């Protein structure tokens, strides 16, 4: 009973956190906050139904049985998109993001026959489930057996958690990311958010493993493992909710769209040097379709910061900046005898230029001569650029 009180308390705190995020922290101006609010409230609803079933209260509204299952699929999606939105605020949602909702939609289709079941029959079923909680995940309430729905939900939760860790580690392992005080607070939140979710997924795994054993009468699901899992879940959500209220700077940062910014000219110089090194080492300049937006996504840095760094350097704009890399690459190819086997147009494309004219203009601007004349200088030994 005490464990259920703690479980109920964590559910209420999770719901309260979601409401505070939604109505008090400027969620209308910040998609990341909306997603986090959905995460807290979605989890609160899903686990609240566990208590409704356990104590038989679900019999007062039997038509709601199994409706939280699709919501459970969306919770892990919301957590992943929250992290992605915090780290990549410039990325807009696209039609391809609707694929994240597809598994939940398939679960709804799976349960359509059950959702439309006669109310009397469903009430009788819900009462039997309340009397024996092991029946929650046994049998088949839809087209697929419950263990398939359950295992796929666990797989999805784990996959999206791994996706979060990849986003976080990739972003913060990038040397071009220089953080101010506000950004360090957000970084700590994202790492702790992922850690506590890992803790939470472990609890889910324990519940699902016990449920699987109970299906085959190998283990009584109500003895020790389920209460232990409830305790882990309670601790996870109490810590997550408490973390936000104990660290209001996180909420302020999320609401105000805190982004990596340059605090000092010296830090700006370091950032520009790291950016140049990344472009050169990765060969991004060879992409004929490269734009400042694409470059910012590759770097994991907001567009405005990339543009500002370029403008404050000796380059007037992004095109001149990137073309400098391309011209240097063309020089290297000419020295290697590229023009002895290929045309000028081929040299331009091999250096990342999308057209012959653009290549000619950029090369002459930087080198003061044409590619062909430059080759002749090399051949005659009058090249002064090397």
C-alpha neighbours within 13 Å on the C-beta side of residue 331 = 18
Please, are residues 332 and 295 in contact by the beta-carbon 8 Å criterion?
no
Question: pLDDT digit string (tens) for 240-299?
Answer: 777 776 665 565 556 554 444 433 444 455 677 778 888 888 889 999 989 988 888 787
| Rounded CA separation 78/224 (Å) | 31
Mean pLDDT for the chain? Answer: 79
Beta carbons of 42 and 72 less than 8 angstroms apart:
yes
Say what the pLDDT of residue 263 is. 39
- Please choose, from the candidates 112, 166, 190, the residue with its C-alpha nearest in 3D space to the C-alpha of residue 144: 112
**Cα 192 to Cα 241: distance, rounded to the nearest angstrom:** 12
Per-residue confidence (pLDDT) for residue 349, from 0 to 100? 93
pLDDT band at 333 (very low <50, low <70, confident <90, very high): very high
Mean pLDDT check: name the lowest of 88-102, 150-164, 201-215: 201-215
At residue 91, the pLDDT reads: 63
Domains in the chain, start-ordered, CATH in brackets?
2-255 (1.20.1070), 265-380 (1.10.10.60)
- Contact, 39 vs 78, CB < 8 A? yes
pLDDT at 264: 41
Q: Tell me the average pLDDT across 96-109.
A: 92
Say what the pLDDT of residue 164 is: 95
Q: What is the pLDDT at residue 265?
A: 44
The number of helix segments (H) and strand segments (E) in the chain equals 17, 0
> With 90 as the cut, is the pLDDT of residue 109 above it?
yes
Which structure tokens are listed for 376? Answer: 């002749």
The answer to whether the CB of 8 falls within 8 A of the CB of 237 is no
Least reliable range by pLDDT among 20-34, 125-139, 310-324: 20-34
**Residue 227: C-alpha distances to residues 4, 188, 232, 296, 348 (Å):** 8, 30, 9, 47, 67
Looking at residue 162, its pLDDT comes to 95
With beta carbons less than 8 A apart as the criterion, state whether 352 and 286 touch.
Answer: yes
pLDDT at 175 (0 to 100):
46
Q: What pLDDT, on a 0 to 100 scale, did the predictor assign at position 260? A: 43
- Residues belonging to the chain: 386
**230 or 120, which is more confident?**
120
Q: Determine the Cα–Cα distance for residues 271 and 260; give it in Å rounded to an integer.
A: 11
pLDDT digits (tens, 9 = 90+) for 6-54: 778 888 888 888 888 877 655 444 788 889 889 989 988 888 887 888 7
Average pLDDT value for residue range 376-380: 82
- pLDDT tens per residue across span 54-75: 788 888 888 888 888 899 899 9
pLDDT tens digits along 335-355: 988 988 889 999 999 999 989
The number of beta carbons lying within 10 Å of the beta carbon of residue 28 is: 11
**% of the chain with per-residue pLDDT over 90:** 20
Window from 83-97, 145-159, 242-256, 257-271 with minimum mean pLDDT: 257-271
| pLDDT tens digits along 203-256 | 777 766 766 665 555 445 445 555 666 666 677 767 777 777 666 556 555 655
How many C-beta atoms lie closer than 10 Å to residue 215's C-beta? 19
Structure tokens at 316: 């007037």
Check: CB of residue 86 under 8 Å from CB of residue 79. Answer: no
Q: In the prediction, which pLDDT does 34 show?
A: 87
Q: Would you say 46 and 11 are in contact if contact means Cβ atoms under 8 Å apart? A: no
Provide the pLDDT for residue 251: 59
How much is the pLDDT for 208? Answer: 66
């Amino acid at each position: 009973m005490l464990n259920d009180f703690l479980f109920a308390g964590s559910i209420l705190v999770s719901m309260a956190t979601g409401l505070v995020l939604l109505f008090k922290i400027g969620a209308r101006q910040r998609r990341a906050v909306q997603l986090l609010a959905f995460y807290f409230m979605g989890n609160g609803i899903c686990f609240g139904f566990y208590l409704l079933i356990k104590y038989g209260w679900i019999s007062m509204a039997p038509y709601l049985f199994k409706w939280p299952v699709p919501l459970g699929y969306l919770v892990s999606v919301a957590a992943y998109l929250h992290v992605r939105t915090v780290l990549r605020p410039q990325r807009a949602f696209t039609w391809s993001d609707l694929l994240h909702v597809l598994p939940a939609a398939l679960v709804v289709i799976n349960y359509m026959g059950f959702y439309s079941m006669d109310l009397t029959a469903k009430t009788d079923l819900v009462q039997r489930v309340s009397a024996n909680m092991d029946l929650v995940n046994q049998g088949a309430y839809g087209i697929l057996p419950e263990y398939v729905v359950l295992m796929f939900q666990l797989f999805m939760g784990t996959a999206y958690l791994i996706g979060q860790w990849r986003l976080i580690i990739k972003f913060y392992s990038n040397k071009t990311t220089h953080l101010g005080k506000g950004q360090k607070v957000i970084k700590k939140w994202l790492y702790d958010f992922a850690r506590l979710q890992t803790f939470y997924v472990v609890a889910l795994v324990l519940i699902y493993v016990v449920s699987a054993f109970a299906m085959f009468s190998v283990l009584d699901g109500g003895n020790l493992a389920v209460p232990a899992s409830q305790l882990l879940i309670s601790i996870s959500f109490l810590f997550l909710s408490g973390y936000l209220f104990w660290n209001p700077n996180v909420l302020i940062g999320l609401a105000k769209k805190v982004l990596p910014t340059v605090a000092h000219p010296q830090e700006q110089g370091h950032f520009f040097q790291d950016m140049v090194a990344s472009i050169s080492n990765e060969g991004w300049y060879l992409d004929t379709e490269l734009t400042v937006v694409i470059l910012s996504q590759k770097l994991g840095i907001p567009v405005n910061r990339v543009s500002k760094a370029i403008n404050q350097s000796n380059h007037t704009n992004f095109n001149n900046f990137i073309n400098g890399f391309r011209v240097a690459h063309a020089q290297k190819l000419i020295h290697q005898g590229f023009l002895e086997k290929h045309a000028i147009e081929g040299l331009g494309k091999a250096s990342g230029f999308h057209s012959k004219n653009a290549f000619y203009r950029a090369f002459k601007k930087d080198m003061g001569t044409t590619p062909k004349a430059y080759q002749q200088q090399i051949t005659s030994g009058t090249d002064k650029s090397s």
